[in-house]
Amino acid sequence: MKLYSAPGFSSLADHIAMLEAGIQFDLVKVDLETKQIEGGGRYMDINPAGYVPALMFDDGEVLTENVAILAWIADRAPELAPQGHLGRFRLIEMLSFLATEIHKRFPTYLSLPKEAREPTGQQIVHWFGFVAGRLERGYLFGETFTVADAYLFQLAWGATQLGFALPEPLGEYIVRIEQRPAVQAALHPEGLA
């Protein structure tokens, strides 16, 4: 199994979740500018959309999109998902929210001239405030780390790298999550720690 990733991009969430789940995989770095795979090859042959993540199974099947890959990981490692009769659906609900309300605003924000970024930046901070209100017991779903926390960590960590001032307790959350062994194990090979 191969996880196609670009350092610092949203594929970091999948990298962390795969390590947390103890799933064996090879990490393959992708240059998103050139669409080349480290070691040779065209990434567009793996994922014609051209963005990461992509998870290639041993039979050649490819799964893309953070929501799908993180849900797949949680299905294999139920301890990384919320429990209860709606647990799986609450996970998909949160992953979808993170993808659509926070993650997808960053490309727009970064493509705008600096003097025009403020409204989109305010929307990003607003939605981070919304999820920050869910962290009173430590994680998005209470006292247990889930694949959704891997995604939120990547988004919040990336936002701070861009200079965003995030609402509390996200600052403490980032520091705490960053100390997890799987997070450190993901940050180092991506050259981010």
Which of 28, 56, 76 represents a domain boundary (last residue)? 76
CATH number at residue 69: 3.40.30.10
* Domain-located, residue 101: yes
Q: Which tens digit of pLDDT belongs to each residue from 49-69?
A: 999 999 999 999 999 999 999
Which of 21, 48, 76 represents a domain boundary (last residue)? 76
Sign of CA dihedral 90, 92, 96, 98: positive
Local confidence band at 111 (pLDDT 50, 70, 90 cut-offs): very high
Residue 46 has pLDDT above 90, yes or no: yes
Tokens of 61: 């099947």
C-beta of residue 9 within 8 angstroms of C-beta of residue 162: no
Residues 52 and 140 both lie in one domain = no
Residues 61 and 98 both lie in one domain = no
Residue 137 has pLDDT above 80, yes or no: yes
* Domain-located, residue 147: yes
Q: In which domain, by residue range, is 129 found?
A: 82-182
* Domain-located, residue 192: no
**Integer Cα distance of 86 and 125 in angstroms:** 28
Q: % helix / strand / coil in the chain, to the nearest 5?
A: 50, 10, 35
Per-residue confidence (pLDDT) for residue 191, from 0 to 100: 86
| 93 φ/ψ angles, rounded to the nearest 5 degrees | -60, -50
Q: What percent of the chain has pLDDT over 90?
A: 97
Number of structural domains found in the chain: 2
Residues 160 and 92 both lie in one domain = yes
Per-residue confidence (pLDDT) for residue 193, from 0 to 100: 77
Residue 33 has pLDDT above 80, yes or no: yes
Which of 76, 94, 126 represents a domain boundary (last residue)? 76
Residues 97 and 177 both lie in one domain = yes
Tokens of 150: 């891997």
* Domain-located, residue 190: no
Per-residue confidence (pLDDT) for residue 85, from 0 to 100: 96
Strands annotated E in 48-160: 54-56, 62-64
Residues 61 and 134 both lie in one domain = no
Segment 27-51 shows an average pLDDT of: 96
Say which amino acid occupies 18.
M
Q: Which tens digit of pLDDT belongs to each residue from 153-164?
A: 999 999 999 999
